[in-house]
A and B are shown apart, each in its own frame.
Chain A
Amino acid sequence: MIQLQKVTFAYPSQIQQPVLRRLSLNLRMDICTGLTGSNGAGKTTLGLLMMGLLQPVDGQVLINGKSISDIPLHQIGRQIGYLFQNPRQQLFADTVLDELLFPFILQQTDSAEIRKRADKLLTLFQLARRKNENPLRLSTGEQKRLALAALMMNEPDFLILDEPTNSLDLASRRVLGDLMTERIRMQKGLLLISHDQPFVSQYCQSVLFLDDKKIQEVACAT
């Protein structure tokens, strides 16, 4: 469970105008939760707080009962996969394949099994043909698929996906949807930040609406 306890957050440039004010929330990590709300409501900010990439001005964020400020970022990263709105912010390897293998090569845990996992993910995300290409040469939709594939390499317990369906074509949406269904079956949940109403209502078991610094549950299918 990810818990927000009376979290207030303001960006340094806007310290007088908090994006979130005394927000409390319990987020189950075994289901798929949608997060919607108007532009500028603070959805991405909320995602970054849950990942420990931003620190609250007041209040605290807990992951499984432990304060996020006590967990090293790399440990959170191993547990939670984060897809940024702009996939280019998380692609840096020279080739598509290396994008998936990078952390394993770094930790010297690269193995035949890892390579097999990478091949499987590249095939799933329809990138196998392009595995030797530079990620920056891919189209926006392909970059998004690559970032998703790279996230899945870690087999994270939880995912936070910020606008994952933007730039995805129909076939890729289906791949992402299937992947989410599979994760729900394995009780590995995710937070889906999105304006894509049809996608959210098709795949999320619970939907949160963030507006005017308040959060409310608008639908729950389970």
Chain B
Amino acid sequence: MNIRVSELRFTFPGMQTSLLSDVNFTWHQGQAVVLQGKNGAGKSTLAKIICRALPEAYESGTSGQLHLNLDRTSPVLFDQRTAGKHSGTAKTSENPWMNLLMTERREIAQYISALFPDPDLQILTPDTESELAFGLEHQGIAVQRMNALINEIMHELSLESLRFRNPRLCSGGEKQLILFAAFLLMKRPFLILDEALAMIDNNRIDKVKRMILRHKQASTAILLIDHQGRFDDLADDIWHLESGHLNHYGASR
């Protein structure tokens, strides 16, 4: 599976200039990318467009092609501007290319998960254990298996003492750890981490990095936005957003 974006241009409603102009990339499973750029360069906007979390982008102001290749039948690229209303979804055709601009958010969420900088916006349940169980329950994982997965990840991230605590009442770093664990458990093929690990302390960041690496090796595609440079050594590629353009660099490793 890969996500292919070409000639993406996006302008916020009411703005004169495009925030993103001519952004091109292919992001595939097993590839870890660090997305860099100055504040306001459009990193989070790009992340949100990919996972359809930015309503403005689907109303107007966006052009270009964003497709998720589901590797089903032979790839036939088609243009969202000429495509029929529902033909963008893989479900309604044999076409393996899911048009991300025209697919329902809930369908995209089966493939792409994204954590954003503010954990308070993504916490859903009143205790840590339920927060970790939430995604697994929705996937219909058997209780026994679910408990084993939750115990394992809680142990790995030393979250046991938070098991029955309300995540909303935990510290900023703890909230980010809980959500990170919950999102890893969901095992989506594409994972976006937008400044989502910024508050995690230095004792645990190595553990977090090892877990990211493990998921990458198990063919998860990872996109990391981070200003502290803490994840550069995990990256296969560094992408840099500047003046609306995305430049590609090899990894610094």
Which residues of A pack against B, CB within 8 Å?
Answer: 11, 13-14, 36-45, 85-86, 88, 126, 137-142, 145, 163, 165-173, 195-197
| Chain B residue at minimal CB-CB distance from A12 | B169
The distance in angstroms between the C-alpha atoms of A201 and B105, with both chains bound, is 44
Assuming the A-B contacts A86-B120, A139-B44, A165-B228, are A39 and B195 also in contact, with contact meaning beta carbons closer than 8 angstroms in the complex?
Answer: no
How many chain-B residues does the 8 Å CB contact rule pick out? 32
Is B129 at the interface (CB under 8 A from chain A)? no
Assuming the A-B contacts A86-B118, A141-B227, A197-B202, are A39 and B171 also in contact, with contact meaning beta carbons closer than 8 angstroms in the complex?
Answer: yes
Determine if B169 and A11 form an interchain contact, defined as CB atoms under 8 angstroms apart.
yes
Determine if B117 and A167 form an interchain contact, defined as CB atoms under 8 angstroms apart.
yes
Is B38 at the interface (CB under 8 A from chain A)? yes
Is B5 at the interface (CB under 8 A from chain A)? no
Assuming the A-B contacts A13-B166, A167-B198, are A140 and B44 also in contact, with contact meaning beta carbons closer than 8 angstroms in the complex?
Answer: yes
Q: Mark B27-66, 1 if CB is under 8 A from A, else 0.
A: 0000000000111110111000000000000000000000
Is B82 at the interface (CB under 8 A from chain A)? no
Chain A residue numbers with a CB within 8 Å of B228 are 165-166, 196
Determine if B165 and A14 form an interchain contact, defined as CB atoms under 8 angstroms apart.
yes
Is B203 at the interface (CB under 8 A from chain A)? yes
Chain B residue numbers with a CB within 8 Å of A86 are 118, 120, 172
Given contacts A39-B199, A40-B162, A42-B171, could you give 7 more A-B pairs where the C-beta distance is less than 8 Å?
A14-B165, A39-B173, A139-B43, A140-B118, A141-B38, A166-B227, A169-B227
Chain A residue numbers with a CB within 8 Å of B120 are 86
- Checking A37, A166, A173 against B195 with a beta-carbon cut-off of 8 angstroms, the contacting residue is A166
| 6 residue pairs, one from A and one from B, having the closest CB atoms | A141-B39, A39-B173, A166-B198, A169-B38, A38-B201, A85-B172
Is B12 at the interface (CB under 8 A from chain A)? yes
Determine if B200 and A39 form an interchain contact, defined as CB atoms under 8 angstroms apart.
yes
Determine if B38 and A171 form an interchain contact, defined as CB atoms under 8 angstroms apart.
yes
The distance in angstroms between the C-alpha atoms of A139 and B166, with both chains bound, is 28
